Structure 1
């Protein structure tokens, strides 16, 4: 009997403890050493480049020819690589992304049999390397999947070493290259959207040395900055657009088009340079067999281009804060024409670029080009590819999103191959505000109910935001790379720091890291120093963990059982994430009062009690009445007296 009674009593105690216990731990969330880490002369503890910061550079001269019968690109690239690092480099690594578009590549072998956005089934593409020289001599090199290693005869000297690499190559364009580039057939000719079209130097940095993750599809790019000069030889019936400035418009446009181009450069509204009616008119193109289009794009990490004989072409002026001008340019087929569709594209480009330039950092390229094609949405410096069927709000949304990428990662050069959220999430965040601002709210976002969103955000199958994109499950990429970080930054701006402090810190981060390579920790530190807050609790819960938020109203007691003497209210934090608390108390008279508490109340534990000065009975108490935070259980957010609850 003794043992029986002991075990029965112990079972009751354990059961009661389990019911009362919160999952929350203040010690875990507010760990004092969580965001401590090594700093160096290269990266300051303030989250900005240190006095010893360095990065290598790569300048490119590219000349290729487009064969629109064989869908083939042929040419060569000359890369002038400068080693600014303190290390001798006995070898160099280059990216050969086209090699992924082959069934025998790592990308091919890791593609499910069902295919998918980042797959490429039954296509045997990739680079054909004709020759590789370094400083004019044949190079010793190997190709490993999507990487090329050049083994130098003598190491490239630290800080001053320069190498000139020249590669002759060709490749056949896939129809759909992981939704990054491809070929769209239209009734007036194919549209070639061309990217990842030349060998590019991998980044060598102070964090990892050579960054050599293979290209599999989901992880995007990490690239050195430099200056680009490139030429595209294409059939004269084609119009070619590309990153940066067109250097020879008089050689590739008709005299009438040159005049209209000049008019568009000074027009606030869209000027049609080549109309739908002219697409099939041979007189709208110079009477030649082939033409060479010449471009330059300075201080960029990449370039891309598009070519087609089916293009309608229009443009208008972009006004920048410094007084400089840029141009919004759009090219699209007849199938995409119309005031509900691509005829408004340049208007959208102009609005997007001007908004971000005024808010964040001035746009850095002379042209911003939107291309309609088979790619549903992809960004490159100064040029984006969007779906040719997009219309109205969908076209605005994809245009605005892809051009938002000219700030993240084209200006702020984060490592997309590892940290998709540092470009997609940042961009999703800034898109909220540009969309609300566009054309007096034409496509304004609805009010977001974070309680509803929480159910999807904190689903059981989620991946941590801080995951390599190729590790994030395909079905989760939209949430973990885009939505969750985007909503997190919105909450940080609107509900934790406030717009003024957030924007000040955010813009300082952008200015300090423009055309450089920040890490996640650099961002975290820059925001904390600029805003004056230790946000380790926020970064840890939101970006690193799969924690959830569940705030509740636990209890309400009148002082001495008399409503006229006030009330004592207890709120709880039941799950592992924490946020500031907003509590609304409504009296039976209809009068309401709000109480706001900083996140630090949860440093004291999982519950917090405060006193109110009521004179009348309380009708209800609600925590997070505006649904500003992603609370998993709205049912326990409201307290009502028993007489009301029983109705």
Structure 2
């Protein structure tokens, strides 16, 4: 087993590759040589950037025979105070130490503490050098002067009721144990606390509340609870305690466990939460319960809580409270949404998991989200369950939920928060939605529900390697969007969408810690999604990729993979060496720009002087006269004076000599059979020179168009660059005559400059927009201007009037 410190040193070594390259060459260290500077882009990562396999994680990329992970169970009772917008709660935690180590303390995550004024997140928040500030930024500054978030009234007690000492460290809490917790033992303790919910649209965040208090609105609120309880930090075989503070970007890796949660909320609230509702008879009307049962077998969404029922609740605002009880098994987190504004629709989706043959796809949304949410939210959930189930594994839980509120998009086990809504027409006052809003909702629901696979089930470390959940999920979202509508306006997944970012000086390698990524969307979402598309479509092909990806998903379902487990599994299951691909796409800032620099055509020399002389004459005739020869139209001396003509002037240089004919005749008498066969070959030999200008080695997809109207495409593996990653010449023989050649004709490799992909070069066709009116002011016509060379360089000056 590698200790955490050794692992971190290996990771640090790989970060040397994270420095942006000044040129397109040599981001990785070249192999040492006595002379020259050969860069081996195919050298193996094993034992270099990657940690050594262990009994916990083997060399094939799967959990080893001694793999372990901790288990944490929670029993939580919480109350929502709508007036103060505060949660008060108590939880009993049972921690099972499955590690081989003895633990003397436990680390818990208090992520809401990033709203504390003295938190790392708040004190290190930076702004741009712009001279402007938005209204939203001003509102946040003023709110943070009077409001402070974070956990309050913390108290920790052991099972016997005695107090347990604890220490706060920014967004982390260390509990010191009265007795060491040995391997295989369990510990139960209780934590109580309160936490004010943030107004999300003012101070930001992944949870909080939104109140509809503008003129003409109903005055009610939507509450979204996430990161709302102290959660056990991860203790793993490769990192030990995962105790990196939450600064704002790196999301939440957690331990699996079973949850029993009671949420006490205003009596007229409807609650959506992780897990299954245990007491529908206590919180739903008889009609709502009946509609919920009907929804399980419905072919389209059925209202469980109707728009009319939600509208009545908005107006009446009942007093008192109700307690909603939920249970969720083998999940890594718990979140909820609560509001009297919620309309609730649902439908059952057939599922391949025998434990959950029907999954309840459900959406919760206010009237402000209609008619967009009625039409698309729950159906988008159902579509996601089908597509992701095909690519990875059957959905492993009984419910999948989409909740509308102030959070644009966030995921938790069995529940997601999604933001898009229609807009009110300024003339009619009706709620209508744009095409952008429609696809925005479908896309975000697919993405966030998809996260229930990655990382809510395949439990990667989001705080360290964001791309493992966001990038992989964006890749699968791309697949689901294209299966929704072939013309779906996808944002991420197409390789060509990453060209601009991969040319950026502000780019860092994908294998960069989440808190250190300047362009989060491009780096953690877009580039890995494009890379996986290329891996599936271009490098491996769909059959090999899909088999390997499904194997990775199966191996690490309900377990905690690292990037190296993903890399190794994809190689091992596909039977393909991909170290060059990981190095280029995940460890470097190289980009793809492969130029078709030259094409040369050759035929074999037949040694027959008649044939070869005729070929030479054709080549000579094809050469144009020089400009001087073309202009010299007068008679020459040889043409006007016959006495100057001798043997050399009368000899036909294109006619084979007697000596040449005899030499060829002698060759035919005793010719080697292999040579005779070779000389009879009539093929054209085309030598294609490929130049790697971007530094990132890739397969070369070469399309050849012939004069007979046919075409041929050859997919040359990336190993063509193994001897020289900068420039190679590749040969193709054919009886056909080449008219034109182009590389990457479908732009499938994210090639940054397609203008150098064709030979001969193609003319880039464009359109100029014609400006209406004059091109601009004519200063010479303006008698108010004193026109001088200096005045043309500066602001115009008024002339003195006489």
Q: By the TM > 0.5 criterion, same fold?
A: yes
How far apart in 2 are the matches of 1:409 and 1:118?
A: 31
| Mapping 1:37-116, distance limit 5 Å | 37-113=51-127
Shift of residue 35, structure 1, vs aligned partner: 5.5
8 A contact 1:328–1:368 mirrored in 2:
yes
> 1:154 aligned to 2:193?
no
| Structure 1 partner of 2:271 | 240
* Post-superposition offset of 1:634: 1.6
Aligned-partner Cα distance in 2 for 1:249–1:588? 73
Aligned to 1:207: 238
User: Which residue number corresponds to residue 497 of structure 1?
Assistant: 540
Going from structure 1 to structure 2, the CA distance change for 1:467 and 1:299 (only over 3 Å counts) comes to same
The 1:228–1:442 alpha-carbon spacing in structure 2 relative to 1, beyond 3 Å, is farther
Report if the CA contact (8 A) 1:414-1:423 is conserved. yes
Matched, 1:587 2:706: yes
1:206-605 → structure 2 map (5 Å cutoff)? 206-282=237-313, 289-322=320-353, 324-338=357-371, 340-389=372-421, 391-438=437-484, 441=486, 443=488, 445=490, 450-451=495-496, 453-473=498-518, 476-560=519-603, 565-605=684-724
The structure-2 alpha-carbon separation of the partners of 1:370 and 1:22, relative to structure 1 and needing over 3 Å to count, comes to: closer
Contact 1:252 1:286 in 2 (8 A): no
TM-aligned CA deviation for residue 388 of structure 1: 4.5
- Give secondary structure in 2 for the equivalent of 1:261: helix
Q: Deviations over 1:336-365 (max 9, x none)?
A: 111x44442111111111221233111122
Cα deviation, residue 231, structure 1: 0.8
Provide the secondary structure at the position in 1 that maps to 2:265.
strand
TM-score computed with the length of structure 2 as normaliser: 0.74
SS at match of 2:67: coil
Q: CA deviation at 1:268?
A: 1.8
* Offset from partner CA, 1:420-446 (integer Å, 9 cap, x none): 0000000000011111112x6473649
User: Separation in 1 of the partners of 2:477 and 2:76?
Assistant: 34
The Cα shift of 1:281 comes to 2.0
> What runs of 5+ residues in structure 2 fail to find an aligned partner?
1-23, 31-37, 128-132, 423-436, 604-614, 620-681, 765-802
Partners of 1:304 and 1:417 in 2: how far apart? Answer: 19
Q: Post-superposition shift, 1:288?
A: 6.3
Q: What residue in structure 1 maps to residue 742 of structure 2?
A: 622
Match of 2:208 among 176, 179, 182: 182
Q: Is the 8 A contact 1:29 1:576 kept in 2?
A: no
1:198 equivalent in structure 2: 229
Distance 1:285 1:239 in 2: 14
Q: Is the radius of gyration larger for structure 1 or structure 2?
A: 2
**Is the CA contact (8 Å cut-off) linking 1:111 and 1:118 kept in structure 2?**
no
CA distance in 2, matches of 1:452, 1:244: 37
Q: Mean Cα displacement is larger for which, 30-39 or 164-173?
A: 30-39
Question: CA offsets per residue over residues 11-53 of structure 1, 9 Å max, x none?
Answer: xxxxxxxxxx976977431123546531111110000000111
Measured in 2, the distance between the counterparts of 1:617 and 1:143 equals 76
The farther-off stretch of 229-238 and 105-114 is 105-114
Partner residue in 2 for 1:30: 42
In terms of fraction of residues, the more strand-rich structure is: 1
Displacement of 1:616: 5.7
Q: Which runs of 5+ in 1 are unaligned?
A: 1-20
Residues 289 and 541 of structure 1: is their aligned pair in 2 closer, same or farther, counting only changes over 3 Å? same
Offset, 1:496: 0.5
Change (3 A) 1:542 1:192: same
Contact 1:488–1:542 (CA<8 Å) still a contact in 2? Answer: yes
Instruction: Quote how far apart the aligned CAs of 1:575 are.
Output: 3.0
1:175-198 CA-to-partner distances (Å, cap 9, x unmatched) read 126431121223341000110110
